[in-house]
Chains A and B, each alone.
Chain A
Amino acid sequence: MYQYDQVDRKIVEERVAQYRDQVRRFLAGELTEDEFRPLRLQNGLYIQRHAPMLRVAIPYGLLSATQLRKLAHIARRYDRGYGHFSTRQNIQYNWPKLEETPDILAELASVEMHAIQTSGNCVRNITSDEFAGVAPDEIVDPRPLCEILRQWSTFHPEFAFLPRKFKIAINGSQEDRSATAFHDIGLYVRRNDRGELGVRVLVGGGMGRTPIIGVVIREFLPWQHMMTYVEAILRVYNRHGRRDNMYKARIKILVKALGGEEFARQVEAEWRHLADGPGTLTQEEYDRVAAHFVAPGYADATQDEALFSRHAAQNPGFARWAQRAVQPHRVAGYRTVVISLKKTGVPPGDATAEQMEAVADWSERFGFGEIRVSHEQNLILPDVRAGQLLQLWEEARKAGLATPNLGLLTDIIACPGGDFCSLANAKSIPIAEAIQRRFDDLDFLHDIGELNLNISGCMNSCGHHHAGHIGILGVDKDGEEWYQVSIGGADGSAAGHGRSAIGKVIGPSFRADDMPEVISRLIGTYLGERREDERFIDTVGRLGIAPFKAKVYAAPLGRNEAVAHA
């Protein structure tokens, strides 16, 4: 993975000093709360319900064992012993003290990490494919371009005060594992007919109040021009994006207002001034960064395949876990393992310091000391020998990290919700837990099959509810927490056959207590209607929402019979 050189190190160290001084000035009364807010936000610090929340960047979801141990140490030393992995491949600490946040940043800097631009109206952490470099379906490894764009966007002087936050995703595989089309800029790394490297450029995707799938403005942009082209997009957006209404300030609103074609024309006109200028990426720099991502020294592990088969045959519990958690790898005898952070009773995406340390240890013993974080809020060990999967499973079970539910209904994506977040209208975590308890029968869960269930506590959509096969959105009604349900969303991954779609709301919202029953009725409808190996999302696609809606609203729910609220 990428290692800092003297340039990177100096910038991050100077950032720590700058932030320390900003905190000092705020505490000394030299900066008002309004003046300090954008400064702390650009360093990932929110003021939440109970305490500040610090969001630390995990660039494109990549961690070393050393870094993960540091995250565990921070959880223990500065927080309450755990952290929350978010849908943007970051980690959030819910209980740090404002006065100690400069020290946390100094700790992070010591392992080449930071919290730069993890919030605020600026270019956020670049997200990518959690299986980059090991996925068999990969066309081009996106990590070099991710790192190059990370550096380009870090403290870009012109784009630190955009109309609104700005999220970029880069995906280089056949399968889109990054919800790329839901980003302000989505880049698909591709090769053209002549084998040349380039990116397909989408703009204006997003979730939030106005969910939109991004539109293609460039089918193929040669790789050298990635940064200048992104610069052109951002300049058009910075100058013309709306600033009068924060709900209409994302780039998607500008793209929609102008139309994709006109927006593309303006970008191209701006880009003509930049193309082939000094911002153009050089082969030398691409090679320098790419050299950090060369494949590790894999052993000849072909014989592990037979061992793995034997282990699975002898141990049904292991086989069931492996069926979900173990993913294919491009090297024979190796597998990629997804560690579920979705155990019932634990908030989705949460991990304790001890669990982080355990995963860091496994990454060294069963791999090359590398860990990934997925937007589904799970951890990944990218390079595990197939013959060692059984041993890993046994240890993961002891650590409470072997829940065999990857990609199934209980592998719920959820934001921290109203328990922590001051933006939320409603809680997410108890809803996730109630649903997980309802579907605690593993055989039933496996019979239901692939299903993405996503929960957001408010319209900001951190829980990606629009893209869930089942999406749940917390809404506020006269001070009470209600939940709106949508079905048919898809994030572009193979679980939804590569489609990106926005879920449709099935009808009036529900009380928290009724949510497990609502989900049961949706699943009941699916099981009654499905043909052969159709997934939930397929049945919704074939029949539309009508039969699901009819079944959910047919009989009164719970004691309140309160489904009639609009």
Chain B
Amino acid sequence: MPDTGQAQIIRNGAVVRDGWQVLRPAAEAPLGIGSLPAGPVIVPLAFWTANADALLARGEAAPWIASHEDPAVLAPWIPRLGLIAVDFPKFTDGRGFSTAFLLRSRLGYQGELRAIGDVLADQLFFMRRVGFDAYAVRADKDIHKALQVLTPFTDVYQGSFDNPVPAFRRHRRVGPEAGKAGS
């Protein structure tokens, strides 16, 4: 369904109005740099790389990365980007989790990282851990209910972007029958 530009998203743990429009051009109607709609737009990665200078000059433009695309392509623009979106074509397609992790941990991206596409409540916790901080929850779902299950776990075992330090380095974890483990 088309993005209206009036959608609500979750950003930094709160439901907020958002005016960014995700452009998903059909193959037969490619985007033209001169004919972009007014207002903030999120454009396909290939369109970004082909028109980066013009888009940066225009302002209010950001790239979105398809699940099969390599985020390293964005390396030259990372410091100047305030928003990157990662698309989940189906929520069972987990490539976007690695894309996000690499953008944050490997490429040093510090702006807003937004999950778009088939974004559902029960994925948000994992998304948050790998570095997302904004979620365009699928429009037919109750975004307020999604926000309620953003943090089902208060502790985690392994490191990821949100905290690279695993539980065993964060806690003083006790051994068997605490106090008796002298063997």
A interface residues with partner B (beta carbon < 8 Å): 2-3, 5-7, 10-11, 14-15, 17-18, 21-22, 30, 35, 38-39, 121, 151-163, 227, 235, 238-239, 243, 273, 277-279, 281-282, 284-285, 287-288, 291-292, 294
Q: How far is the CA of A144 from the CA of B175 in the complex (A)?
A: 12
A162 to B67, CA, bound (A): 13
Q: Which of B92, B95, B128 contacts A239 (CB 8 A)?
A: B95
Interface 1/0s, chain B 156-183, versus A by CB < 8 A? Answer: 1111100011111101011111000101
Across the interface, do B169 and A282 meet the contact criterion of CB distance under 8 Å? yes
Q: Within the complex, which residue of B94, B166, B177, B183 is in contact with A159, where a contact is CB–CB below 8 Å? A: B94
Cα-based distance from A6 to B154 in the complex (angstroms): 12
In this complex, how many residues of chain B approach chain A with their Cβ under 8 Å: the count is 45
Pick out which of these stretches binds chain A: B6-14, B33-41, B76-84, B118-126.
Answer: B118-126
Q: Please indicate the chain A residues that have their CB under 8 angstroms from the CB of B176 in the complex.
A: 2-3, 291-292
Q: Which of B46-54, B109-117, B145-153 contacts A (4 or more CB under 8 A)?
A: B145-153
CB of B98 within 8 A of CB of A235, answer yes
The 6 closest A-B pairs by CB, nearest first: A161-B94, A157-B129, A157-B126, A285-B168, A18-B152, A151-B157
Q: A7: which B residues are within 8 A, CB to CB?
A: 155, 157, 167, 171, 173
Report yes or no: A5 in contact with B154, Cβ–Cβ below 8 A.
no
CB distance from A211 to the nearest CB of B (A): 25
Contacts of A2 in B (CB 8 A): 176
* Contact (Cβ within 8 A) A161 B91: yes
- B130 near A10 with CB under 8 A, answer no
Point out the residue from B101, B125, B152, B164 that lies within 8 Å of A277, measured CB to CB. Answer: B164
Which of the listed residues B122, B152, B171 has the most CB atoms from chain A within 10 Å of its own CB? B122
Given contacts A151-B158, A155-B156, A161-B97, 14 further A-B contacts (CB under 8 A): A3-B176, A10-B154, A151-B167, A152-B157, A155-B153, A155-B157, A158-B94, A158-B160, A159-B97, A161-B123, A235-B98, A243-B95, A281-B168, A285-B173
- Chain B residues with Cβ below 8 Å from A284 are 168
Chain A residues whose CB sits within 8 angstroms of the CB of B128 once the complex forms: 157
In the assembly, what is the distance between CA of A30 and CA of B123, in Å?
15
Q: In the complex, are the beta carbons of A158 and B101 less than 8 A apart?
A: yes
Minimum distance in angstroms from B168 CB to a CB of chain A: 4
**Judging by beta carbons under 8 Å apart, are B158 and A152 in contact?**
yes
Asked whether B60 is an interface residue with its Cβ less than 8 Å from the other chain, the reply is no
List chain A residues, Cβ under 8 A from B169: 278, 282, 285
Among A3, A153, A238, point to the contact of B94 (Cβ < 8 A). A238
> Given A7-B167, A282-B168, do A160 and B152 touch, yes or no (CB 8 Å)?
no
A506 CB to closest chain B CB (Å) equals: 39
Assess the A121–B157 pair: CB atoms within 8 A. Answer: no
Contact at A39–B158, with CB atoms within 8 Å?
A: no
Query: B93 near A: Cβ within 8 Å?
Result: yes
User: A277 CA to B105 CA in the complex, in Å?
Assistant: 12
Q: Which B residues have a C-beta under 8 Å from some C-beta of A?
A: 91-95, 97-99, 101, 106, 120, 122-123, 125-130, 142, 145, 149, 152-160, 164-169, 171, 173-177, 181, 183
CA distance A515 to B127 in the complex (A): 51
Inside 8 A of B125's CB, which chain A residues have their CB? 157
Q: Are A14 and B153 in contact (CB under 8 A)?
A: yes
- Asked if B98 and A238 make an inter-chain contact with CB atoms under 8 angstroms apart, the answer reads yes
B174 — which chain A residues lie within 8 A by C-beta?
5-6, 288
- What chain A residues lie within 8 Å of B94 (beta carbons)? 121, 158-163, 238
A158 touches B130 (CB 8 A): yes
Taking CB as reference atom, which chain A residue is nearest B174? A5
Q: A157-B130, A159-B94, A235-B98 are in contact. Are A279 and B149 (CB under 8 A)?
A: no
CA–CA, A154 and B160, complex, Å: 13
B interface, over-half SS: loop
Contact A238 B175 (CB under 8 A): no
Q: How far is the CA of A497 from the CA of B12 in the complex (A)?
A: 58
Contact B159 A22 (CB under 8 A): no
Contact residues in A for B155 (Cβ distance below 8 Å):
7, 10-11
22 A–B contact pairs at CB < 8 A? Answer: A3-B176, A10-B154, A10-B155, A14-B154, A151-B167, A152-B158, A158-B97, A158-B98, A158-B126, A160-B126, A161-B92, A161-B94, A161-B123, A235-B98, A235-B101, A243-B93, A279-B158, A279-B164, A281-B168, A287-B175, A288-B168, A292-B175
Q: Which residues does chain A contribute within 8 Å of B159, judged by CB atoms?
A: 278-279
Residue of B nearest to A277 (CB): B164
**Contact, CB under 8 Å: A157 / B160:** yes
Query: Which of A14, A158, A159 is packed against the most chain B CB atoms within 10 Å?
Result: A158
Residue of A nearest to B182 (CB): A291
With A152-B166, A157-B130, A158-B126 as given contacts, are A30 and B153 in contact (CB-CB < 8 Å)? Answer: no
B145 & A30 in contact (Cβ 8 Å cutoff): yes
Chain B residue nearest to A288 in the complex (CB): B175
Contacts of A278 in B (CB 8 A): 159, 164-166, 169
With A39-B122, A151-B157, A243-B93 as known contacts, state yes or no: A294 contacts B183, CB within 8 Å: yes
Check B175 against A154 for contact (C-beta < 8 Å): no
Given A30-B142, A294-B183: A238 in contact with B173 (beta carbons within 8 A): no
Look across to chain B and name the residue whose beta carbon is closest to the beta carbon of A18.
B152
Question: Across the interface, which residues of A come within 8 angstroms of B165, CB to CB?
Answer: 278
Chain B residues in 8 Å Cβ range of A11: 153, 155-157
Contact B157 A273 (CB under 8 A): no
CB-CB under 8 A from A38, the residues of chain B are 91-92
Cα distance A294–B91 when bound, in Å? Answer: 43
A7 to B158 CA separation, bound complex (whole angstroms): 12
Q: How far is the CA of A239 from the CA of B106 in the complex (A)?
A: 15
- Within 8 Å CB of A152, what residues of B? 157-158, 166
CA distance A545 to B81 in the complex (A): 64
- Shortest Cβ distance from B31 into chain A, in angstroms? 26
A193 shortest CB reach to chain B, Å:
28
Question: Which residue of B is nearest A156, CB measured?
Answer: B158
Write the nearest CB–CB distance from B121 to chain A, whole angstroms: 8
Report Cα–Cα, A156/B101, bound state, in Å: 12
CB A244 to nearest CB in B, in angstroms, measures 10
A279 to B166, CA, bound (A): 6
A30-B145, A160-B94 given; A154·B152 CB < 8 A: no
